[in-house]
Amino acid sequence: MERLDDPTLLRAQCDAWRAAGDTLAFVPTMGALHAGHLALVDEARRRADRVVVSIFVNPTQFGPGEDLDSYPRTLEADAAACAEGGVAALFAPRAEAMYPPGDQTRVTVQGVAHDLCGAHRPGHFEGVATVVSKLFNVVGPCVAVFGRKDYQQLQVLKRLARDLFFPIEVVGVATVREPDGLALSSRNVYLSPEDRARALAIPRGLSAAANAYAEGERRADALVGTARAIIEAAVDRIDYVTLADADDVTPLADDESIAAPPRSGRAVLAVAARVGKTRLIDNLVLGEDPPPLR
């Protein structure tokens, strides 16, 4: 596995592989890799000859008071996992390499980035879109693989790739969960045992809504209410429990139904909640994703 920290050298390596006839798949991450990330690497390996992973804790996507400084950093363990997973190149730049002195450009995605995390973390998706644009420009034509746990991020990055004509296919991979339903996240390491037990209300709430959906419920207020009642009894704060159109991520109003026009019939139930100091997100595309608990 090549280990690189210079964007120019990564670009040269990716160009050389393509010139030799190899296809590339790219997995952008912030490190602290867990089985969810390794599922992205596996999918990348299935789709291309060479897999590139980036590890960069991107400062521009963290707001004031968020966990930029304490975000888990486990580079050597991550590098070992990447080598084991068949990664061809690991790119782990320093902040100055991605944002050299004088850097002034930011990339903003509108509509799809507006609600949910866009409303609760001002500037977050601008930071994500900016760093991913830089990374896409360095890696070049490839398949880029992201987790569906960050559902809105995935839709933002699909829109970004389409709108800016990046020669990149953006694909999503199903959320990996613990046996008790908790979605894997690098931030789970912050949870005390008590907080972790309370966090299980999130997969429980999503599963209850999925069951209601399976029994024919399509009204937004009923589906959201079912999940919310379970989650708010356990967590410290809910940022949102929202039913949104699965394609454009616009929230459904309380009196809307998934099944009635203008809705497409596909909807994502998305949650962001705080347990202790930890902000957790999770989601289900109703009728498509398996409920976290069966």
- Residues contributing to the site for ligand PAF (CB under 6 A): 28-30, 58, 61, 128, 131-132, 150, 153
> Which residue's CB is nearer to ligand PAF, number 119 or number 293?
119
CA distances (Å), 93 to each of 7, 52, 81, 143, 203, in order?
A: 8, 13, 18, 21, 35
- Residues marked as catalytic: 37
Q: Judging by DSSP bridges, how do beta strands 142-147 and 89-91 pair with one another?
A: unpaired
Report the residue number, 82 or 132, with the smaller CB distance to ligand PAF: 132
H helical segments located in the chain = 7-19, 35-47, 75-84, 95-98, 117-120, 124-139, 151-163, 193-199, 201-214, 220-232
Largest CA distance in the chain: 57
Pair of tokens at residue 269: 């139930």
**144 SS3 class:** strand
Q: How far is the CB of 124 from ligand PAF (least distance, A)?
A: 9
C-alpha to C-alpha distance for 181 and 201, rounded to whole angstroms: 10
Tell me the C-alpha distance between 126 and 123, whole Å: 5
Q: How far is the CB of 242 from ligand PAF (least distance, A)?
A: 20
Q: Which residues in 132-152 are b (16+ Cβ under 10 Å) and which e?
A: bbbbbebbbebbbbbbbbbbb
**Smallest separation, CB 61 to ligand PAF (Å):** 6
CB of 128 to ligand PAF, least distance (A): 5
Strand, coil or helix: 126: helix
Q: What is the DSSP letter of 163?
A: H
Residue type, 262: P
Q: To the nearest whole angstrom, how small is the minimum distance from the Cβ of residue 224 to ligand PAF?
A: 25
Q: Which is nearer to ligand PAF, 161 or 224 (CB)?
A: 161
Token pair recorded at residue 155: 């839709």
E strands, 148-188, where?
168-173
255: alpha, beta or left? (left if phi > 0; alpha if psi -120 to 50) = alpha
What is the closest distance, in whole angstroms, from the C-beta atom of residue 56 to ligand PAF in the complex? 6
* DSSP letter, residue 44: H
Q: Which is nearer to ligand PAF, 172 or 292 (CB)?
A: 172
Residues whose CB is less than 8 angstroms from the CB of residue 276 and which lie 6 or more positions away in sequence, other chains included: 190, 191, 192, 195, 236
Q: Name the residue nearer to ligand PAF (CB basis): 153 or 242.
A: 153
Nearer to ligand PAF, 99 or 213 (CB): 99
